[in-house]
Structure 1
Amino acid sequence: MRYVHLGSSPRIHPDAVVAPTAVISGDVTIDAGSQVLHGAVITAEGSPITIGRNVIVMENALIRASSVHPVHIGDHVLVGPMASISGAVVEDEVYLATGSRVVNGARVGKGSLVRTNAVVHLRTTLPAGTVVPLGWVAIGEPMRLLPAAEAEAIDPARRELDFPGFVFGLDGDAPDYMVQLTERYGSSLARHAADTPAD
C-alpha cells in the first residue's frame, strides 16, 4: 500500500518493484531496479527518504525518517529481513544483514557489512569497508566496535551520545520522561489519521 502523508506521495520508479503487502508512506523516493519485499515498511515521518538504484529491502524491514532525521540509502544496498534504519545515511554497496539496526544520525560507509543483529548506534560513522561482527555494537565518534556482552563499556558511550535528547529533544533523566515521550511522539504519529491511499 502507498499512502499520502503530510501532503506527500511516494515516488516510485516504474522499474522498481514493490510487493503489495509493503507499506510506503509519505515523502519517499525509490529509484530504478529497486525491490521492496512483503511486509517491509518505509515511512517518512516529516523528513524525506531516498532509496537509490538496485536496492533490495527484504521482508519485514523498517526504514523510517523522523521530522528532523531524513534517510538516504545509496545504490546497490541490501537491507536484510527485519533490519531497521532510522534517520540515517547508508552509502553505496552496503549489506545490512538480518535484524541489524542503524540508528538516528548514523552513517554507514560505502561497502560496509553490518552482520546479523549488529547495531550501528546513534551518531556513529562507520568508515568505508567496515565490518560490524555478528551481534556487536558500533558506537561513538571515533567509532568503536564492542561485543554486546560488554554492556559496561557500551553504556557510558551510549549516555554520552544522548539518545533521548538527540532523537526526541527530551531529558532522559527527567522523572516524567516517558510521559513526555509518549505524549509528544503520540501527537506526532497521530498525523497519520489524515493519511489517504495513494494507489
Structure 2
Amino acid sequence: MAAGSIDEVFVATGVSVFPGAVAGTRSELRINSVLHVNSRLAPDTVLPIGWIAAGDPAALFSPDRHDQLWEVQRDLDFPGTVYGVPRGTSLREIMARQVDFYGTHKGDRRVG
C-alpha cells in the first residue's frame, strides 16, 4: 500500500495494547497510552499521552479517572483473556501461570 494508506495506525513508544484489543484505522495511540483487553478503538481516534481506552466501543479515560475506568474495565474479562482464569482466582495462581509462561524458554539455547 502507498504511504498515507487508510489502513495505518500510529503506535508511539511505550504504548500497551492488550490481547483482544483492536485499534481502528487511522487511529493514533500516543506515548504511554493503553488500549485495554477486548477493547475496540474507533477509527480516527487519538488516544492522548498516558490515557486509557477501554470498552467496545472504547471510552477514553485520563489516568486520574480510575473509578470510572473500573466501571468499564471490570466486565472486559482481563484475567480470563490474559491468564485463562476467572476473576477472583488467587494472585498466587495467576503469578504461577505467569512465571510458567515466561519460563517456558528458560533452557533454550541459540543455534546457528
The Cα offsets for residues 80-122 of structure 1, whole Å up to 9 and x where unpaired, read as xxxxxxxxxxx94221122221111101122211111211111
* Alignment gaps of 5+ in structure 2: none
Matched, 1:180 2:79: no
Matched, 1:147 2:38: no
Query: Deviation at 1:198?
Result: 4.5
Alpha-carbon RMSD across the aligned residues, in angstroms, is: 2.4
How far, CA to CA, are the matches of 2:103 and 2:80 in structure 1? 21
Task: Find the residue that maps to 1:160 and give its secondary structure.
Answer: helix
How many pairs are equivalent? 110
Query: Deviation at 1:173?
Result: 1.8
In the alignment, which residue of structure 2 is the partner of 1:124?
A: 39
How far, CA to CA, are the matches of 2:31 and 2:95 in structure 1? 30
Q: Sequence identity of aligned pairs in percent?
A: 33
The aligned runs of 1:2-13 (5 Å cut-off) are none
Structure possessing the higher relative contact order (Cα contacts under 8 Å, 6 or more residues apart): 2
Choose from 91, 94, 105 the match for 2:9: 94
Question: Normalised by the size of structure 1, how large is the TM-score?
Answer: 0.49
Question: Normalised by the size of structure 2, how large is the TM-score?
Answer: 0.82
Letter in 2 for 1:137: I
How far, CA to CA, are the matches of 1:187 and 1:146 in structure 2? 33
How far, CA to CA, are the matches of 1:123 and 1:131 in structure 2? 18
Structure that is richer in helix per residue: 2
Query: Deviation at 1:187?
Result: 2.3
Structure that is richer in strand per residue: 1
* Alignment gaps of 5+ in structure 1: 1-52, 54-74, 77-90
Letter in 2 for 1:103: F
In the alignment, which residue of structure 2 is the partner of 1:105?
A: 20
The Cα offsets for residues 152-187 of structure 1, whole Å up to 9 and x where unpaired, read as 11012111112112211123323xx12111222322
Distance of aligned partners of 1:159 and 1:190 in 2 relative to their CA distance in 1, 3 Å threshold: same
